[in-house]
Amino acid sequence: MLFILAAALLPLSAVAHKESDAYLNLHTDAHNKHVLHGQWDIALRDLDFAIGIDGNHDGAITWGEVQARRRAIEDYALPQLAIKGDGLTCATQATGQEIDDHTDGAYDVIFFDAICDKNIPSALTVVYHLMHNLDPYHRGIVTIHAGDKIAGAVLGPSNPVARLNLHEPDRWGEFKSFVVDGIWHIWTGIDHILFLLSLLLPAVLIRNRLDPPGGGWRKTAVLAESSGAMMLFAGQPRRYRWEAAPRFWPTFLEVIKVVSAFSLSHSVTLSLAVLGIVDLPSRLVESGIALSVMVAALNNIFPVVNKRVWLIAFAFGFIHGLGFASALQGLQLPAGAMAASLGGFSVGVEIGQESIVIAFLPLAYLLRKTWFYRMAVLRWGSLLIVAIASGWFVQRAFAIAIPGFSAIIPN
């Protein structure tokens, strides 16, 4: 019920289309100190949502349709970007467009020049307003290259301005920027949240087996109309019951195991994917994440893994790490900047998931003895999560849009 309420309170623009990323790269010109060369990768789905590109509304955007809307794309995007130095604004001028494929779909690439009245200063201020009134979760990953110096930041509607030093990159500032990005990636990633909650729901309970008299066997008399009486020995299935955990600290320790196992495994694949060592198709990764949510929730209804739930967290953490990595793909940074970005994002992810645990565990512990928690929250809540994850799996694995599903539950 809390999840449905939260979904209903989301801004309509946020559920109308997939949350978006854009990649803005700026390069200084070694021969002209007044010019920055820019490349801005914006998802075609976002441009279609913002200004309409799919002319025949068939769901497939062609290069011809992009060409037909080329001027409209430039007129929409470029005014949303301001590059300033020493109090002056550098004028932007489009120089071309092309299409590029990213792991999450096709992107329109806008090439442009930012021309300043004087030499590019060592410190630049970037003001970024793309999608600010359409998607509160949009983010632009900004990178500025000045010779062998690279500076970067993550900008969006809630944080649209960054001051970047070209000669002395602010690694601490970059780290903090990606910490915030990691936190929001968890808080806006409903599939990651539901996976974590599925693992935490039974943490405040103990599943005890109820052995019937007679060592699990019962003697049943069966009357047969035609042949008289006969005795039939039948095996009685074992019965189980959820009971409240008697003490808090063993429960807390079990939660620490689950969260630590999940963190360890997703950190491994997050690092490997961002560094380009592991690369799996986005469709496979997102389908795997949906499947992990289904399995974790089903285990609450038909427990297979009971005493070592952290094993589920550890196993599926690898696939979730690849999902986290999609937020950093497209970064082209040197070792120092990559370490700051990857480290900050990982810390942000941990803060985001720990905040969920801190909010969930005390309340769950207080309610653990109630029928409401054991039935409404654990059983029916897990069934609801299974239904949601099943819808995600169908949409992601088979590219089948379930009518009205994404409007209710963001995908």
Query: Read out DSSP for 227-267?
Result: TEEEEEEEEPPPEEEEEE-S-HHHHHHHHHHHHHHHHHHHH
Q: Is residue 16 part of a domain?
A: no
Q: Is the pLDDT of residue 384 over 90?
A: yes
By DSSP bridging, strand 35-43 and strand 105-115 are antiparallel
Read off the pLDDT of each residue in 127-143 and give the average, rounded to a whole number.
Answer: 88
Mean pLDDT over the full length of the chain: 81
- Same domain for 360 and 287? yes
* pLDDT tens-digit readout, 317-359: 999 998 888 777 666 666 666 777 888 888 988 999 999 999 9
For the chain, what is the domain count?
2
- Same domain for 152 and 197? no
Q: Is the pLDDT of residue 226 over 80?
A: no
CB 161 within 8 A of CB 127: yes
Q: Is the pLDDT of residue 229 over 50?
A: no
pLDDT number for residue 187: 85
Neighbours of 325 (CB within 10 A): 24
By DSSP bridging, strand 228-235 and strand 123-128 are unpaired
Query: What is the C-alpha to C-alpha distance for residues 391 and 109, in angstroms, rounded to an integer?
Result: 32
Apex 120 CA angle, 124 and 107, nearest 5: 65
**How far apart, in Å, are the Cα atoms of 359 and each of 41, 192, 280?**
37, 16, 33
Task: Provide the Cα torsion 107, 108, 109, 114; round to 10°.
Answer: -130
Query: What is the C-alpha to C-alpha distance for residues 402 and 393, in angstroms, rounded to an integer?
Result: 11
Question: pLDDT band at residue 9, thresholds of 50, 70 and 90?
Answer: very low
Q: Is the pLDDT of residue 289 over 90?
A: yes
Q: Is the pLDDT of residue 22 over 60?
A: yes
Query: What is the C-alpha to C-alpha distance for residues 286 and 191, in angstroms, rounded to an integer?
Result: 9
- The helix/strand/coil state of 401 is coil
Question: C-alpha 265: how far from its chain's center?
Answer: 16
Question: pLDDT band at residue 233, thresholds of 50, 70 and 90?
Answer: very low
Which residue has tokens 């002209």? 32
Give helix then strand counts, H and E, for the chain: 14, 13
- Same domain for 274 and 361? yes
Of residues 72 and 10, more confidence is placed in 72
Residue ending a domain, among 106, 139, 169, is 169
Read off the pLDDT of each residue in 178-207 and give the average, rounded to a whole number.
Answer: 88
- Same domain for 382 and 257? yes
Q: Which of 254, 329, 307 is nearest to 43 (CA)?
A: 329
What percent of the chain lies above the pLDDT cut of 70?
A: 82
Length, in residues, of the chain: 411
Q: Is residue 181 part of a domain?
A: no
- Same domain for 98 and 127? yes
Q: Is the pLDDT of residue 213 over 60?
A: no
What are φ and ψ of residue 361, in 5° steps? -60, -50
- Same domain for 144 and 282? no
Global confidence as pTM = 0.68
Question: What residue numbers bound the domain in which 386 lies?
Answer: 190-207+246-408
- Same domain for 143 and 203? no
Q: Is residue 218 part of a domain?
A: no
Q: Which of 262, 137, 194, 248 is nearest to 2 (CA)?
A: 194
Token duo for residue 106: 């096709």
- Same domain for 159 and 195? no
Question: pLDDT band at residue 224, thresholds of 50, 70 and 90?
Answer: very low
Q: Is residue 107 part of a domain?
A: yes
Query: What is the C-alpha to C-alpha distance for residues 333 and 150, in angstroms, rounded to an integer?
Result: 7
Query: What is the C-alpha to C-alpha distance for residues 411 and 405, in angstroms, rounded to an integer?
Result: 9
Where do the H-state alpha helices sit in 78-169?
none
For 387, residues 6+ apart whose C-beta sits below 8 A from its C-beta are: none
Q: Is residue 215 part of a domain?
A: no
CB 334 within 8 A of CB 152: no
- Same domain for 392 and 287? yes
- Secondary-structure breakdown of the chain: helix, strand, coil percentages, each rounded to the nearest 5: 50, 25, 25
- Same domain for 81 and 157? yes
Q: Is residue 85 part of a domain?
A: yes
Token duo for residue 314: 């550890």
Task: Provide the Cα torsion 10, 14, 16, 20; round to 10°.
Answer: -160
The secondary structure of residue 379, as a DSSP letter, is I
- Same domain for 333 and 202? yes
Token duo for residue 320: 């979730």
- Picking from 90-99, 175-184, 219-228, which range would have the lowest pLDDT averaged per residue? 219-228
Q: Which of 335, 292, 297, 334 is nearest to 314 (CA)?
A: 292
Read off the pLDDT of each residue in 199-217 and give the average, rounded to a whole number.
Answer: 71
Query: What is the C-alpha to C-alpha distance for residues 272 and 284, in angstroms, rounded to an integer?
Result: 17
What are φ and ψ of residue 378, in 5° steps? -70, -55
Q: Is the pLDDT of residue 3 over 60?
A: no
Which residue has tokens 């060409």? 67
Query: What is the C-alpha to C-alpha distance for residues 202 and 162, in angstroms, rounded to an integer?
Result: 43
Read off the pLDDT of each residue in 259-265 and give the average, rounded to a whole number.
Answer: 91
Token duo for residue 26: 């700026």
